[in-house]
Amino acid sequence: MFHTRCKALATGLATALILAATAAPAALAHSTDLRSPDARDAAQPAHVVVGGPPTWPVNQQPITRPHAVASAPSSGIDWSSAGMGAAAGLGAFAIALVGIGGLRRRVARPAR
């Protein structure tokens, strides 16, 4: 009786792991542009505006430096990374359980 339960559990876990392994790449396959920002800018068509001759201002003023604005990274949780980590931990735990169940020493019971 125990052997059939263990076999059914192992079969169910193996099926779940196979389904998770085949479904995970499809779930993560969203289009991501892996080019650098410079490469993305270079791939866009150039818009050249040709104007008339340059005009000079009547009251020349010095050019001021732009103020640097620093933006802090978001402190939120990256839920996709957290989900993948949790799935990996559960998968490792399931594999360990199946391995322990498979390596467990069988006790021979005396026949009645």
Ramachandran sector of residue 14 (left: φ over 0; alpha: ψ -120 to 50; beta: rest): alpha
Q: Is residue 42 part of a domain?
A: no
Q: What percent of the chain has pLDDT over 90?
A: 13
**33 — pLDDT class (breaks 50, 70, 90):** confident
Owning domain of residue 16: 1-23+82-112
CA 5 to chain centre: 35
User: Is 2 part of a structural domain of the chain?
Assistant: yes
On whether residue 5 sits in a domain, the answer given is yes
Examine residue 18 and state whether it is found in any structural domain, yes or no: yes
Model confidence pLDDT, tens digit, residues 49-74 = 777 777 777 777 777 888 887 776 77
Does pLDDT of 102 surpass 80? no
What crossing angle do the helices spanning 79-103 and 2-28 adopt, rounded to 10°? Answer: 160
Mean pLDDT for the chain? 78
Residue 29 lies in a domain: no
Write down the pTM of the prediction. 0.30
59 domain-assigned = no
Is residue 112 a part of any domain in this protein? yes
Q: What are the respective helix, strand and coil percentages of the chain, to the nearest 5? A: 55, 0, 45
pLDDT at 87 over 90: yes
Residue 45 lies in a domain: no
**pLDDT for residue 27 is more than 70:** no
The count of domains in the chain is 1
